[in-house]
Each structure stands twice: as structure tokens, then as C-alpha cells.
Amino acid sequence: MFTDNHEISGRQIRRMGILENIPVLIVFAPFVCTAYGTGILSLIAGLVLVFIYVLIMKKYGECFKKQGVSYSADSSSFTALINIIRYSVRIGFLSFVFARAIKSFLMYGISESVLLITLIVVCFYGSFGDMERRGRLMELLFMWMIIPLVIAGIIGIFNLDWSSLSINTIAQDFTNRDTYAGACLLLCTASTSEFVLFLSERPAGTKKNIMMIIFVSLFSCALGYLVIVGTLGMAWVSEDIISGLNVMEAVTNNIRGIRRIDYLVLTFFIVGIFAVISGHFFREKGFMENLMARVGRVKKDSRKTHIVCLSLVFILAMASGFFFKSMDTPYQIFAYYMLFLDLPLSLIMPLYMIIKKKKSHVVKYAVMFMVISLSLGTLSGCNSAYTSVENRDFASSLTLSCSETGSVIYEFTIDDLSEYGGNPGDKIGEITTYIDAESMEDAQKKYKEDNENALDVGHLSEIIIKTDEEKIPDIIMEHIYPLRNNPVITKSVKVIFPGGEEVLLRDLIKENSD
């Protein structure tokens, strides 16, 4: 009535920004940088990308502010619909991951579905009301999460094992494509920082406030990485997306006399999780109301519209959460989705809206950034199977035989290029390597584990089956037939049976398909 102006103060913006950014960065960054990247260098490169990305979002928000429009309220129906889907997917994934985390670290006896549902419901409730209410809520909850986290961080810093951070390999990591793969994935993770666009639209979303959010978030991410990886080690952290949360127990274990303070730290960390997910709900609600007003031709501010929008948002979020829960490889699906769909859309759609209204210098930055990201993405090849040629061993033939235990042995004949200098007369030797594997991919993976180089099977000229007659069908079905999906192996490869019979792989596959 007297102070309700549907606006938020600078302090509320800063707190909201930090609260919505830190939980995701702290949990996801160590994992992506260690599992898909090379550690610290991936982190540094990733944070640079995140910084640029957030600056772009800030610029977008400022453009909208100058134009007097709001991205969520004034975007087209198509843009609104796309964003609704994007936010639903994010809500679903984040809820799924954090519900798993809560189950793994706090409530192991409770069903994951129950945790998922309750998390979504409470975060959904937290999105009610206008921006002013949200600002007040974030301002209130800020200290609940930050204080325990800061205490844990300070304790963790003093108990770091610096050797776990592999700082001595930084020079080598410069040339490692995985470094940039990790950086890209960190950028994907931090694309939840898209909310900076919405904050920059606000009168109190000044440069000072936004920059403070950025710097605090990035610093916290870096500090979080140091503490988590420095305490747990890269191997442990890279195991699972939520492995890093083990740090809370590891760090607070040092406090003598008081047991399991990590439970309390994690309990209040849930406040940050709530802030992130409810923030997504809040923005999705804005897009939904916009879409309803345009498509449904209803009043934006009517109670009925609010109820319908909230209901739809809730249903979509639930569906998304359970979708990810039902998947075998949810992380992979989400990573591909973020990299190839969500991140580009988050850059393109606001840009399109700005261009439609008025060209601005932000176009330059955005285009530059997209070029840089795409280049890095291309160079890194976020699929780590794309190894440089000098780091590959080339198999010329493959022999499949059965061991005494019944498992299948892959015998690769590999060209030995160690003495080959590219000059006429240089000899190319052969090395034979035996791998007990379940499939070609498995064999390649095991080869990589034991060798510096990756195994390249793109130059196989023959596949020899060396086993008893009765085991041939199994060998064909389980090990040769699946090669139909391996684009690297040419289907003209000869398959040689024990009796000397030769068949082209293509024909063999065709036979078995029928």
C-alpha cells in the first residue's frame, strides 16, 4: 500500500543474485571440471566464460531496461513458450539432482520421490507473489545459507591438501582439449546465471550490484572448488555430480566435540537450493503469464490467470523432475541439452528481441561471445573421444577369441609408429595387445586406461574369429553385430571365420538383421 512498488532494493538484488548462483556453482563446478576437464585450468577457463556470459546477460537486461520492456512480460508467444520449456527442464533436473543429494547425504531412508515432490512443492510455493515479495524472502534467507557455508569454507581452507589440486599439471593442461571441454560444461552449468538478465532490467539492477553478484559468485565458486577438490581429491569428486557434498562432512569433522555438524550445514544449504529452484519457478511463472495473456487472451493480473499459470508451471516441473529420475543417464542427457540447446537459446532469444526493437552494441558482444564459445567448443570437442592423431594407436586387425572362462578376448594388432619418422625406409612394427572386453567400446576404454594413447579402430582391415564352431553365433551377435552402430568402422571390413571363409561385415550384419 505505502511501500508496495513491486520493486526491489540493491541489497535485495545482491542477496538474491548471490543466493541463486552459489549453490549451483559450488556443487556442479568441481564435478564438471574434474570429470570432464583437467581441474584448475578448466575451472579458470570456465569462470572466464561464465564471466563473459553473465556480462552478456547484464547487457541484455540493460538493453531491455533502456527500451522499457521486460524480457518475460513482453517477449513473443514463441519465445515465452520456449522459455517455459527451458525452465521446466532446468527445474526438473535441478530438483532431481538435489533430491538425490539430500537422499545421499541427509535422508537416506526416505524415498527419492518423496524428497523430489516436497522440494518442488516448497520451491513452487516460494515463487508466489511479486518481485518485491521475492526480494524480501531472499534478503531474509540469505544469512541462513551463507553463514554456515562461510564457516565450513574457512575451516576447509585451513585443512586443504594442496597436492590434490594437481596444480603442477597446469602447464600441460593448456594443450589438453579436456581443459576446454570442462570449461564449456562449467559454462553450461552456470547458465542458470541467466537470471542476471532479469535483475539488470530492474531499476536497482545497477552495474555495481550486478558486478558484485558476479564477483562474489565466481570467487565462491573458485573457493568452493579449492576446498572440495583440495579436501576430497579429483578422483572422488569426479565420480558423481554430488560427490562434492561429501566435503561438508570431511571439513566439519575437524571440529572436535561436536558430531555431524555437516548435517546442519547441509540443512541450511537446502535454503540455497530452494532459492535456485524457486527462482526458476518465479521466472517461468512470468513467461507463463505472458503466454496465457497472449494466447488465452486473458487479463495478466487476474486471479484466475495466476492460478492457471501456477498450476501449469507446477505440473510441468513435476513431469520434468520425474522424467530425469526415470532416465538411466540423466546427467548426459542434460549436459547435451544444455550445451546444444539451452545455452545457445539463452543467448539468441533475448538478442533477437533486442534486435527487433533496436540494434545495439550488445549484438557485437553477443556475437563475439558466441563465436568464442563455439570455437572453444569445437576445439575442445566436448566429446573427449576426439583425440589428436599423435595420441592414437591404430589397430590394423582384430582377432576375437574366447578365454577359458568364457569371456571374449580382443586381440588388436597395432601398428607401432615409434620408429617411424615419415621417411622412406622407416619401419613400422606391430604390437599385439590383448584386452578382455565385452564390446568394442569397452575394449577401447580399457585400452585408454592402460595406455597413454587412445585406440583408433577406424583402419581395421579385418576381423578374425578364432573360436569353436558353437561359440561363433554368440560372438557374432554380441560383438560383431553391434559394430553396425559404430560409424568409425567401415562396413567393408572382412570378417574371417575359423575355416577361412570371408564375409564382408556389411553382409554379415545384413544376414543377422534378417
d(CA 338, CA 166): 28
CB count within 10 Å of CB 230 equals 22
- The binder of another protein chosen from 67, 85, 263, 481 (CB under 8 A): 263
Which candidate, 319, 313, 325, 298, places its Cα nearest to that of 125? Answer: 313
Contact status: 255 vs another protein (CB under 8 A): no
Contact status: 362 vs another protein (CB under 8 A): no
Q: Which CB, 24 or 45, lies closer to another protein?
A: 24
In this chain, which stretch among 265-273, 321-329, 448-456, 460-468 interacts with another protein, using CB under 8 A?
265-273
**What are the start-end ranges of the H helices in 423-500?**
440-450, 472-475
Helix (H, G, I), strand (E, B) or coil at 239: coil
Contact status: 486 vs another protein (CB under 8 A): no
In this chain, which stretch among 134-142, 207-215, 394-402, 446-454 interacts with another protein, using CB under 8 A?
134-142
Shortest Å distance, C-beta 408 to another protein: 46
Which candidate, 390, 410, 404, 395, places its Cα nearest to that of 478? Answer: 410
Which candidate, 309, 330, 274, 333, places its Cα nearest to that of 120? Answer: 274
Contact status: 207 vs another protein (CB under 8 A): no
DSSP states along 423-438? STT---EEEEEEEE-S
**What are the start-end ranges of the H helices in 36-165?**
40-67, 71-74, 77-105, 112-126, 131-157
- The binder of another protein chosen from 6, 66, 122, 383 (CB under 8 A): 122
Which candidate, 74, 64, 68, 71, places its Cα nearest to that of 294? Answer: 74
Contact status: 367 vs another protein (CB under 8 A): no
* DSSP character at residue 53: H
- The binder of another protein chosen from 260, 299, 300, 510 (CB under 8 A): 260
Contact status: 22 vs another protein (CB under 8 A): no
Helix (H, G, I), strand (E, B) or coil at 418: coil
d(CA 226, CA 187): 18
Shortest Å distance, C-beta 269 to another protein: 9
Shortest Å distance, C-beta 125 to another protein: 6
Q: Are 217 and 35 in contact (CB under 8 A)?
A: no
Q: Which CB, 208 or 260, lies closer to another protein?
A: 260
Helix (H, G, I), strand (E, B) or coil at 493: coil
Shortest Å distance, C-beta 239 to another protein: 23
Contact status: 208 vs another protein (CB under 8 A): no
Shortest Å distance, C-beta 27 to another protein: 16
Shortest Å distance, C-beta 117 to another protein: 11
Contact status: 307 vs another protein (CB under 8 A): no
Residue 49 grid coordinates: 566464460
DSSP states along 284-311? HHHHHHHHHHHHS---TT-HHHHHHHHH
Shortest Å distance, C-beta 143 to another protein: 9
Which candidate, 140, 81, 95, places its Cα nearest to that of 349? Answer: 81
# residues contacting another protein (CB under 8 A): 42
Q: Which CB, 124 or 334, lies closer to another protein?
A: 124
In this chain, which stretch among 52-60, 166-174, 261-269, 343-351 interacts with another protein, using CB under 8 A?
261-269
- The binder of another protein chosen from 43, 210, 241, 270 (CB under 8 A): 270
Q: Which CB, 9 or 401, lies closer to another protein?
A: 9
d(CA 186, CA 364): 23
- The binder of another protein chosen from 168, 171, 257, 470 (CB under 8 A): 257
- The binder of another protein chosen from 96, 274, 282, 334 (CB under 8 A): 274
Shortest Å distance, C-beta 119 to another protein: 8
d(CA 282, CA 320): 16
Shortest Å distance, C-beta 285 to another protein: 15
Q: Which CB, 216 or 264, lies closer to another protein?
A: 264
Shortest Å distance, C-beta 150 to another protein: 18
Near another protein in 88-117, by CB under 8 A: 102, 106-107, 109-110, 114-115
In this chain, which stretch among 34-42, 132-140, 230-238, 505-513 interacts with another protein, using CB under 8 A?
132-140
Near another protein in 140-169, by CB under 8 A: 140-141
Q: Which CB, 11 or 207, lies closer to another protein?
A: 11
Contact status: 381 vs another protein (CB under 8 A): no
Contact status: 6 vs another protein (CB under 8 A): no
Beta bridge mates, 430: 415
- In this structure, are strands 408-416 and 392-402 parallel, antiparallel, or unpaired? antiparallel
d(CA 493, CA 263): 58
Helix (H, G, I), strand (E, B) or coil at 224: helix
Q: Are 380 and 187 in contact (CB under 8 A)?
A: no
d(CA 118, CA 120): 5
d(CA 16, CA 142): 8
Interaction site with another protein (CB under 8 A): 1-4, 9-12, 102, 106-107, 109-110, 114-115, 118-119, 122, 125-126, 128-129, 133-137, 139-141, 257-260, 263-264, 266-268, 270-271, 274
